[in-house]
Structure 1
Amino acid sequence: MSESVHALLNEPRPDAVFVSGDFPLDENVLASFPAGSRVLSANRFGTSAWTITARIHTELLDGTPMRYFLKCATENRGRVMMEGEFNAMSELHKTMPDFVPKPLCWGQYRVGSPDTYYFLEEFVDMSDRVPEPNQLCSKLAKLHRESVSPTGKFGLQVTTCNGRTPQEVSWESSWTVFFSKLLRHVADVDFEVNGMWEELDILEKRTFAQVIPRLIGILESDGRSVKPSLIHADLWEGNTGTSYETGNIYVFDSGAFYAHHEMEIGDWRCTYNKINNRIYTKTYLRYYGPSEPKEEWDDRNRMYSIYFNVIYSVNHMASGKAVRQT
C-alpha cells in the first residue's frame, strides 16, 4: 500500500486536478469543501510511511480563509484507515472539540487505479515539541471521564487502525472479553507478519488462559465494573501537537474506541514512546486514578503495554522481531 500511495505524487494520474502548489487533487476532494469554497493551493505537508498528506488553503464564499489537512491512502487497507480515522476523530471531537482538529469528511477519489481514499479535517498549525504534561493529562482524563459509549459497550461502530494495522473493536459488553479479542487479533497478525516464535506462542497461550481472566477479569468481579471510556488508542508524542496560535495541545491520528480509560496508560510504558517519561503517567493518575484493585495497577499497566508493543512490531516489520522481544 505504501508504494502505491506514494506513486500518486511521483507519477500523477491524468485525471488529477492541479491548483497552485505541488499536490495533485481530485474532483471528489474539491467537492468536499463547503459550498462556494475556492481552493487556492495544495502543498505536500508532513511525512508518513503509509499515507500522503497535504495542507490545502481555501477561501469560503464570504471570503474567510480556511485551511485543511488532507490524508490519502490506497487499496482496501487505505479505505479502512481513512474511514476509521474519520469516525475516530469525529467521536473524539464530539466529546472534546478543543482537543482534536475538526474532521470534515472521508471519501474515495472519483477515478483511479489503484483505488484511493482520503480523510479531510481542519488544519491546525502546531509545533511538534513533546507536550506539556499537565495540559495533556488533564484533557485526556476529562475525555475519559465525560465520554459516553453510544451502546454502553466497549468498541466502536467501525474498524479503526493503529498505524496501518486494523484493530478488533467490535462491540462487547465485557471488558475482559473485549481486551482478550483485541490482543489476540494483533498477536495472530504478529505471527503472520514476523513469523512464529515458539516461546512467545507458549507465553501467549498462558496469558489468554490464565493471566487475562485473573488480572483483567478482577476488574469486573466482586461488584466492580469498568466504564467504557473513549480513548485515543495511539497516544505517542508524534500524534500530539501544540498550537502556535493558542498554546492548546491537540491530538490526532487516532485509532479511537471505547475501552478501560486509556487502558490505564499502558501505551506510555513502551520504550519507543517519549511520553514514557514517568511524569506523564504520574500526572495522568493525579487526574484519573487507577481502578480497583489499585495495588495491581502496575501489573495491569504492564499487561496493557503488551498490546501496544505487539502492534508496534506489526506496524514496523523491519524491526518487529526485535521490538516484540522487549
Structure 2
Amino acid sequence: MPIPPILETILECIEPSSSFTGALPRVTSSSGATYFVKLGRPSEKEQYEGESESLRLFDRSSPGIAPKLFVNGIDESTERPYMISEYIDVKSSSLSSHGGAEYLAKKLATEVHSLSSENGKFGFSIPTYCGVTRIENGWYDTWEEAYGKMIGGLLDGIEREGRDPRGELVKMGKEVITRAIPHLLGPRLKCTPSFLHGDLWSGNVAISTRTSKPFIYDPSSYFGHNEADLSIARIFEGFPRAFYETYHQYRTKSEPVEEYEQRADLYELFHYLNHMLVFGVSLKGEAQ
C-alpha cells in the first residue's frame, strides 16, 4: 500500500527536507535510508505498544541486536497504531554460518540478559503478545509467581477456547502451577530479573546483509529468568549446540544446576501451551 499521509509527515520529522518512496512496509528516503513502516488496525494498539517498548529496551541493552525503533504512536484521525523502525536487509544464511550462533549467544548473555528491571521485579509494565496471544504481564516480587501467572493465563485461554474438551490438560497444568513451579522456581532457584525476548526461535532471527551478523525481531518481552529465553529454540531447533555452549560460557547455569534440564522442560511448556491455544490440538501430546 502507498505511504499514508500521517506516516509521511512523521517520516519528514525523522528526516527533514527528504522525500520518500516505496510501499509499506519498506520505505526509502531520498538520502538513501530505508525504514520499516508498520500501520496496524485500531484493535492492535496494545500489540504495537508492547513491541515498541521491547525494541526500545533492546536498543538500550544491546544496540544493533534488534531493529532500532525511531517512533511509534496512534494516528488520532483513524486510531490506527504505527511503528517506524530501521529496515534491515537479510540474506539467506543460518546461525551456524560465520560464527553467528556464538555472536548471538554472547550478545544475549552479556548484554540483553544483563539488563534488569528498574524496580527489581519480574514481569513487564504493559501487555505483550507471543504471536497472537496476549500476555497480560504486570509486576511480581518472585519469578515463581510471575511464571505461574503466565502459565495460568494460557490454561485459562485453552479452557475458554474449548481446546481441551475433557479438561485433562488443564487439570495437569494447574498441578504444574501448584506443585512443579514452586518446587523448581521457588526460593531455591538463584535468579534475578533479566530482560528477555520471550519468543526466541529461529523464525525470529535473521542475518543482516550489511553486517553478516544475526539480529532478532518480533519480541514478546518481559523480565524473567534468563534460562526461559532459551526454551522455544529447543522445540523448533535452528539453534546449533554452539549457541548454548557459548551462552553458558558467559552466563553459567543457575543454581541448582542439577535441575537445569527440568527447568528447561518447564519453560518449554509455555510455548507448547501457547501453540495449542493458537492452533488447537496439534501440540497437545507435547504439552501433556
Q: Same fold (TM over 0.5)?
A: yes
Unaligned segments of structure 1, at least 5 residues: 1-22, 45-53
RMSD: 2.0
Q: Secondary structure at the residue paired with 2:84?
A: strand
- CA-CA distance at 1:234 after TM superposition: 0.8
Provide the rounded CA distance (Å) in 2 between the counterparts of 1:81 and 1:264: 20
Could you tell me which of 55, 58, 64 is aligned with 2:26? Answer: 55
Which residue identity is paired with 1:250?
Answer: F
Q: Label 1:39 to 1:81 Cα distance change in 2 as closer, same or farther (>3 A).
A: farther
1:19 corresponds to:
none
Provide the rounded CA distance (Å) in 2 between the counterparts of 1:134 and 1:38: 39
Aligned pair 1:69/2:40, yes or no? no
1:42 corresponds to:
22
Q: How many equivalent residue pairs?
A: 279
Provide the rounded CA distance (Å) in 2 between the counterparts of 1:72 and 1:138: 33
- CA-CA distance at 1:193 after TM superposition: 3.0
- CA-CA distance at 1:28 after TM superposition: 2.3
Q: Identity over the aligned pairs, expressed in percent?
A: 24
- More RCO (CA 8 Å, sep 6+): 2
Aligned pair 1:258/2:223, yes or no? yes
Q: Secondary structure at the residue paired with 1:31?
A: helix
Provide the rounded CA distance (Å) in 2 between the counterparts of 1:75 and 1:98: 30
Q: Does structure 1 conserve the Cα–Cα contact (< 8 Å) formed by 2:196 and 2:229?
A: no
Structure 2 length as normaliser, TM-score?
Answer: 0.89
Structure 1 residues 259-299: Cα deviation after superposition (integer angstroms, max 9, x where no partner): 101416122221xx233554433332233221011001000
- CA-CA distance at 1:93 after TM superposition: 0.8
Q: Secondary structure at the residue paired with 1:57?
A: strand
Q: Label 1:237 to 1:283 Cα distance change in 2 as closer, same or farther (>3 A).
A: same
Provide the rounded CA distance (Å) in 1 between the counterparts of 2:128 and 2:249: 29
Q: Secondary structure at the residue paired with 2:70?
A: strand
Provide the rounded CA distance (Å) in 1 between the counterparts of 2:102 and 2:170: 39
Q: Label 1:122 to 1:91 Cα distance change in 2 as closer, same or farther (>3 A).
A: same
2:193 corresponds to:
228
Q: Does structure 2 conserve the Cα–Cα contact (< 8 Å) formed by 1:39 and 1:58?
A: yes
Unaligned segments of structure 2, at least 5 residues: none
Structure 1 residues 164-209: Cα deviation after superposition (integer angstroms, max 9, x where no partner): 2111321111110011011111221123235234210221121111
Q: Does structure 1 conserve the Cα–Cα contact (< 8 Å) formed by 2:143 and 2:225?
A: yes
1:98 corresponds to:
64
Q: Label 1:233 to 1:56 Cα distance change in 2 as closer, same or farther (>3 A).
A: same
Q: Secondary structure at the residue paired with 1:82?
A: helix
Q: Does structure 2 conserve the Cα–Cα contact (< 8 Å) formed by 1:228 and 1:258?
A: yes
Q: Label 1:190 to 1:119 Cα distance change in 2 as closer, same or farther (>3 A).
A: farther
